[in-house]
Amino acid sequence: MSLKHDIEFTLNGVKRRVAVDVTMNTLAMLRDVIGLTGTKYGCGEGECGACTIQVDGSSLNSCLMFAVDCDGRNVITIEGLANDSKADALRDAFVEHGAVQCGFCTPGMIMQADHLLHKHPHPDEACVKRGIEGNLCRCTGYKKIVDAIVAVDRA
């Protein structure tokens, strides 16, 4: 029997209480326990960024975080951002610039771009490229993704 632990945290603005396997990662908890499948499983080792979420205001790879470590923290996933009007401009820019091909990297890209824009409201191209270096797009549509993020005005 695997060891379980009760945790309580804020998920997309709502308090949640969940019993999780102590060895489970946050990505598995989000997808398999809570049922939020917007966060994607790509590589499982922090190389691809498809599982990017925000915890206490910072972006991180949910596959590299123990689920128990969510206890007491503020977690935002792509589903949370979808309901946040501050992210509308970012979503619209992705659509307008055709920055979505197969779409698998998109939730992670958006979560990371949102974090980047929070720190740098007017990033230039170089800053965006550095900011998303932990996110892979295997359709290799980086140009349009970078253009979309640069186009967002977070004034």
Partner 1 sequence: MTELKHYFAPTSLDQAVECLKDGDVTILAGGTDLTPQSQAGRIKIKHTLMNIRHIPQLSGITLEGTEIRIGALATITEIMEHPLVKEHLPVLIEACDHFASDQIRNAGTIGGNICNASPAGDTLIPLLVLDACVELASMPESKIYRHCMPLSTFFVGPGKTRKSLCELVTCVRIPLPAPGHVARFYKLGTRPALDISTISIGVGGTLKQGILSNARVAFGAVAPTPTRASQTEQALEGQRLDAATIDKVAAVARDEVKPIDDVRATAWYRKEMIHNITKRILSHVAQA
Residues near partner 1 (CB under 8 A) are 3, 5, 22-23, 25, 44-47, 49, 52, 58-61, 63-66, 68-69, 71-72, 112, 115-116, 130-131, 133-135
Whichever of 68 and 152 has its CB closer to partner 1, that residue is 68
Could you tell me the smallest distance in angstroms from the CB atom of residue 94 to partner 1?
A: 19
Could you tell me the smallest distance in angstroms from the CB atom of residue 31 to partner 1?
A: 14
- Integer Cα distance of 153 and 5 in angstroms: 42
Q: Please, which residues bridge with residue 25 across strands? A: 66
Could you tell me the smallest distance in angstroms from the CB atom of residue 101 to partner 1?
A: 21
Whichever of 49 and 107 has its CB closer to partner 1, that residue is 49
The residues near 30 (Cβ < 8 Å, ≥ 6 apart) are 36, 39, 53, 62, 77
Q: Kindly report the CA angle at 46 between 40 and 52, in degrees rounded to 5?
A: 45
Are 69 and 27 contacting, i.e. CB atoms less than 8 angstroms apart? Answer: no
